[in-house]
Each structure stands twice: as structure tokens, then as C-alpha cells.
Amino acid sequence: MKKAVRRSRTKPTASPLSTELAVVVAAAGDKKAIDLTVLDLRKGLAFTDFFVICTGANTRQVQAIAEAIQEGLRKHGARPAVIEGVQRGEWILIDYFDFVVHIFTPATREFYGLERLWGDAERVEIPA
């Protein structure tokens, strides 16, 4: 599968990730999430501080990424306020108040284009 290249108008923010966001990034990475992006929304008029956006190759992988993220955060005492889309597995949204995780299939991510909608948000640099 070809990885889509997305260009941002803003440079990545060099700020370190919070513990919870680091857990999300690690869990998604462990499940081989594609094109992981963290958007810092704190400077805008957003309802949350960060979006974490990633892609799974298919609905099963999307569901596995969501489960791994929830399990990892549960160990840190974090419980989501809202989880949507688990049954279909094309776009799973997990709201943790301070950040919202969006896990897509490739076609669904391309169709909704959250990075385009939030194009002014700064991208947070994800440690390797």
C-alpha cells in the first residue's frame, strides 16, 4: 500500500507529548498504524486540545488500534468520554476530553480530510 504524503502549511511543534498522548502514539505504533499525525488545536477555537489521527489498512486493524489505545490508557486511569464507530470500523472516534483520537480506513480518511479541515493547526513532532 502506498503511503499518502500530506503537507502541512505549518511546521511541526517541537513540544514533547504528554504521558497520555505518548501512550496513544505508542499503542497505535505497536499496531502498525499508518500516517500517524498529532495536531495541536490549543491556539484555535477548538473543543479539545489535540487530535490524534491515524490509519489502519482495513477495518480489523482500525478496531485493533482502537482497542490497544483504550487498553494502554486504561492502565493510566484514563477512560474515554465517548467512543463511536467501533462496529463499522471505518472511522473510530475516541474522545478523552483533552484529546480526540481518530482512526480511519484509508478511503475514509481521504474522504473526510481532517488534516485539510484543521489545516491551520500545528503538527506535533512525534518521536521516533
Full domain range(s) for residue 30: 19-123
Q: Is residue 82 part of a domain?
A: yes
State the Cα–Cα distance between residues 40 and 38, nearest whole angstrom. 7
Question: Where residue 63 sits, what CATH number does that domain have?
Answer: 3.30.460.10
Give φ, ψ of 5 to 5 degrees. Answer: -100, 125
4 — pLDDT class (breaks 50, 70, 90)? very low
Q: Is residue 9 part of a domain?
A: no
List helix spans (H) across 15-127.
19-30, 59-74, 106-112, 114-117
The per-residue pLDDT for range 46-63, each reduced to its tens digit, is 789 999 999 999 999 999
Q: Residue 7 above 60 pLDDT?
A: no
State the Cα–Cα distance between residues 60 and 127, nearest whole angstrom. 26
Number of compact structural domains in the chain: 1
Q: Is residue 10 part of a domain?
A: no
Which long-range contacts does 112-115 make (Cβ < 8 Å, 24+ apart)? 114/39, 114/51, 114/53, 115/6, 115/8, 115/37, 115/39, 115/53
Q: Residue 76 above 80 pLDDT?
A: yes
Per mean pLDDT, which range of 44-48, 65-69, 110-114 is the poorest?
44-48
Q: Residue 86 above 60 pLDDT?
A: yes
pLDDT for position 17: 79
Q: Is residue 1 part of a domain?
A: no
- Eight-state DSSP code of residue 87: T
41 — pLDDT class (breaks 50, 70, 90)? very high
pLDDT > 90 in the chain, percent: 77
DSSP string, 29-46: HHTT-EEEEEEE-TTTT-
Mean pLDDT of the chain: 88
Q: Is residue 11 part of a domain?
A: no
Q: Residue 3 above 80 pLDDT?
A: no
Question: How many C-beta atoms surround the C-beta of residue 86 within 10 A?
Answer: 16
